[in-house]
Structure 1
Amino acid sequence: MLLSIFQGLFKTKTKQTTSELAQKAKAGDEEVLSDLLFAFTPFMKKTASFICKRPIDEHDEEFSVAINGFHEAVMAFDSTENASLQTFAHLIIKRRMVDYIRKETARKEKVFLIQSSNEEAHASEQQYLFDKQSIHTYTEEQQTVARREELIRYRELLAVYNLTFEELTKAAPKHADARKTAFHTAQIIAETEEFYNSLLKTKQLPLKEIEAIVEVSRKTLERHRKYIIAVVLLLNSDFVYIKEYVKGEII
């Protein structure tokens, strides 16, 4: 079984093989689950190290958090809903790592280490409360005006990156799986400070760095570049009404 895992993951590396193994593990096959955890150990270490910005090995508590995050991803993985196990697992592991870091920081009373994260979370909460109140108090006419203004601002933002709505209509992935993969890749970029800042600075995707994290080829990333950039900009914006159209895609 272990040999087939390695052949499937690191030789052919097909999404179907990984998805089938994940479904078997999810269904209760402990041997497959154990082999998946072993085969993806380098990926879990790399993801944990990337988030913590330091080397992580089996002796670190962060590695245990990464394992638990990967296990959670396998148990929640749905090939009809998620782009790929690796991409989905990266998002789950990152969130569990962030939760762990915040709890540890609070316990040790080193609030300054995550001050920016807390401020961001507080700002997001305040924005949510403001948006919720606004939605309830706006008249239908005011909501229409607000949507129109958001579209104008979004169009202007896209123009900075030499993108237009017309181009995005043509560039959007046609197949559902490809669209989910591109969207979840964009979500990783939007949630990763280094990637997002690089996009803001260069107006280009840091393809080499992204390719090392997600289970997507350079060719596919380049083909969906325009769509990915547009989604990243939307996810990190305050465009409340436009985001309503994509909230079902967010992991």
Structure 2
Amino acid sequence: MSILPFRRKKTDEYSDLNQLIELAQKGDPYVRNKLLEDYIPFIAKSASQATGRYIEPGVDDEFSIALSAFNEAINRYDLEKGASFLGFADTVIKRRLIDYYRSQSARKKDVPFSDFDMDDGEDNIVNYVEIQKSMEVHSQELDTINRQEEILRFGQLLSEFDISLEELVELSPKHADARQNAMDVARIIAEDQEMRDYLLEKKSLPLKLLSSRISVSRKTVERQRKYIIAITLILIGEFEMLQDYIQ
């Protein structure tokens, strides 16, 4: 949603929030955009509280949804009821974020969320259990997408070293001690700039440089070559989720 320039002189004549809302409801685009612009911090805070993470204006999709919800709240607010507009707007923002997470998740309801409906004190029904559940499902889906994207990038990087993801599974040392030794070698390479550069440039292990740093036999290192390279690439690359697996 774009925010138009507003005539500050005109809107500054009104200090009461309800007066500004009434003007916006009557069709004054400058007053409406002043409200949207002035309450950006409130909108971002409301969205952040609803999602449980920092929502950055102009960056996160959730902020755009919250901004649109705030605009909707301006349209729907009943001036005659005398309830808090900001409380009402906060509720609309949370509802729209729920709708957003629902749209991102093709899932069936497995919990009777209506049993947890609550009145927020402003004659609005809010279901915080559903908010939390929706956000958890959406977060899990984002993790899955990010993990798939990481694996794809990792597979592409491995191909530069003539290694495939399929053979990597077969090459993984079967014994825990052997896997740990290979990981220790990979960490030594990852923590040494000269050896990292050698690996990335030559597309092979820096065996001579390693010889004075490890107690593992050269024959063993050569046998585990592809596995060690793969672990090293995970350690030095931007593969946060894959790194969790090898910690």
TM-score range, shorter chain: 0.3 to 0.5
Q: TM-score normalised to the size of structure 1? A: 0.43
Q: Which has the higher contact order (CA 8 A, sep 6+)?
A: 1
Q: TM-score normalised to the size of structure 2? A: 0.44
Q: Which structure has the greater CA radius of gyration?
A: 2
